[in-house]
């Protein structure tokens, strides 16, 4: 085999995946396709880990080290709006609008580079996870014994980033992407005639007080050097215009970069909500669910990511201290268990090719990143598994 057809092959893989998007835990054809490519490269493929997830192993030489390279397989429930795009989604209501088609292709490309160059000694595991978008797939794979069956010393991942110039790398030590938690506060008062409020317990006034008080948690309870966001996103009542309702449901979302901050937000939000309700004689139920762990890069792994990025892109295109982003990423769940690092790879400046935002119906992964990302992942393995 020769690498002469490498870049055309990356394009074929990516465009096939783009044409056939599938959402979380339904990535059946996607997993079939990825497995067939990996098998054709001569790798040992293990299917059905956490639903549609799969792992392929490549061992070269006698080295004992094991490195995991991860890609995510799911698309979004969005109808693609890209006139003239030859490889547009063939499934209405489904679209690779986050570039996971590109991420899969980069990791497949790394598999091919490492398979042909054999310039390392040890084992590389290519990990393809389902259901990243809803923050469920990493946990499903781990619950299914991912790291017991396929242990890794370190794991690496990447996400394309519109707004960052194409091919530039950015990462940082510590929190790089936020946790996402969701909350539901149910305020149960007592409905009454709108003109006779003293006969009831008004959950709207109580709920409004809760919404405002929640905003004091970040400003008054949290160390000012630690970032966090609390957003109430829904305020639902069962009332009509001339009656005070009995129930208010407040829903929302919080973000932060550390488990300690997550725990503090949950504790204070519960205290504030139940405290205000009891002051006014309403009942309160408070539910708080963890959707995404924060993505916290390990200090000992970031230098590897930076060295690999520098080898591929040149020092001028590598930022080792990027601002963290408040978006969330299921890769964080892996980093709670094993050391590793996550990088952003620029998909193109705003206004340029690749600058359309993630999750937009016109978004597209920038094909110029495919060989860059493939070389980046292969370089990680080469650095960490020297022969
Ligand atoms: Zn996404
Ligand atoms: Zn994504």
Tokens for 136, please give them: 């469920």
d(CA 76, CA 172): 28
Catalytically annotated residues: 74, 132
Q: Ligand 2: distance of its center to the CA of 99 in Å? A: 6
pLDDT, position 384: 98
pLDDT in tens, 266-281: 999 999 999 999 999 9
Q: Ligand 2: distance of its center to the CA of 97 in Å? A: 8
What ligand is nearest to the CA atom of residue 76?
A: 1
What ligand is nearest to the CA atom of residue 101?
A: 2
CB 131 within 8 A of CB 74: yes
pLDDT, position 2: 59
Tokens for 51, please give them: 């639903």
pLDDT in tens, 136-146: 999 999 999 99
Q: Ligand 1: distance of its center to the CA of 133 in Å? A: 5
Q: Ligand 1: distance of its center to the CA of 74 in Å? A: 9
What ligand is nearest to the CA atom of residue 104?
A: 2
Near ion ligand 2, which residues have CB within 5 Å?
98
Give the burial class of 222: count Cβ atoms within 10 A of its Cβ; 0-12 exposed, 13-18 middle, 19 or more buried: middle
Domains, the chain, with CATH or none: 3-177+294-384 (3.40.630.10), 179-292 (3.30.70.360)
d(CA 157, CA 295): 11
Query: pLDDT per position in the chain (387 positions), as tens?
Result: 457 799 999 999 999 999 999 999 999 999 999 999 999 999 999 999 999 999 999 999 999 999 999 999 999 999 999 999 999 999 999 999 999 999 999 999 999 999 999 999 999 999 999 999 989 999 999 999 999 999 999 999 999 999 999 999 999 999 999 999 999 999 999 999 999 999 999 999 999 999 999 999 999 999 999 999 999 999 999 989 999 999 999 999 999 998 899 999 999 999 999 999 999 999 999 999 999 999 999 999 999 999 999 999 999 999 999 999 999 999 999 999 999 999 999 999 988 889 999 999 999 999 999 999 999 999 999 999 999
Q: Ligand 2: distance of its center to the CA of 325 in Å? A: 13
What ligand is nearest to the CA atom of residue 100?
A: 2
d(CA 131, CA 125): 19
Q: Ligand 1: distance of its center to the CA of 150 in Å? A: 26
Q: Ligand 2: distance of its center to the CA of 133 in Å? A: 7
Near ion ligand 1, which residues have CB within 5 Å?
98
d(CA 150, CA 66): 9
């Amino acid at each position: 085999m020769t690498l002469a057809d490498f870049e055309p092959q990356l394009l074929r893989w990516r465009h096939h995946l783009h044409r056939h998007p599938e959402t979380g835990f339904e990535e059946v054809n996607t997993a079939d396709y990825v497995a067939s490519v990996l098998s054709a490269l001569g790798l040992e493929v293990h299917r059905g880990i956490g639903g549609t997830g799969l792992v392929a192993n490549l061992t070269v030489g006698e080295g004992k080290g094991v490195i995991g390279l991860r890609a995510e397989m799911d698309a979004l429930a969005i109808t693609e709006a890209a006139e003239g795009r030859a490889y547009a989604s063939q499934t209405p209501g489904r679209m690779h609008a986050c570039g996971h088609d590109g991420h899969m292709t980069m990791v497949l490309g790394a598999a091919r580079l490492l398979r042909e160059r054999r310039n390392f000694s040890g084992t590389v595991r290519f990990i393809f996870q389902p259901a990243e978008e809803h923050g469920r797939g990493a946990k499903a794979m781990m619950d299914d014994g991912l790291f017991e069956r396929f242990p890794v010393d370190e794991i690496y991942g990447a996400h394309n980033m519109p707004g960052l110039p194409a091919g530039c790398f950015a990462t940082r030590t510590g929190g790089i992407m936020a946790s996402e938690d969701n909350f539901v506060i149910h305020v149960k008062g007592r409905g009454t005639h709108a003109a006779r409020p003293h006969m009831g317990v008004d959950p709207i006034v109580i709920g409004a007080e809760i919404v405002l008080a929640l905003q004091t948690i970040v400003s008054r309870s949290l160390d000012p050097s630690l970032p966090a966001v609390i957003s109430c996103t829904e305020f639902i009542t069962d009332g009509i215009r001339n009656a005070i309702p009995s129930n208010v449901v407040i829903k929302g979302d919080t973000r932060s970069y550390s488990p300690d901050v997550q725990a503090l937000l949950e504790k204070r939000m519960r205290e504030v909500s139940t405290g205000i309700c009891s002051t006014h004689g309403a009942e309160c139920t408070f539910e708080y669910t963890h959707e995404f762990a924060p993505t916290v890069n390990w200090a000992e792994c970031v230098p590897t990511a930076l060295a690999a990025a520098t080898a591929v892109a040149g020092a001028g295109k590598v930022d080792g201290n990027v601002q963290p982003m408040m978006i969330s990423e299921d890769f964080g769940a892996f980093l709670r268990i094993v050391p590793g690092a996550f990088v952003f790879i620029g998909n193109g400046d705003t206004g340029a090719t690749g600058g359309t935002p993630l999750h937009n119906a016109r978004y597209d992964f920038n094909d110029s990143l495919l060989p860059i990302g493939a070389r980046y992942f292969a370089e990680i393995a080469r650095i960490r598994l020297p022969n």
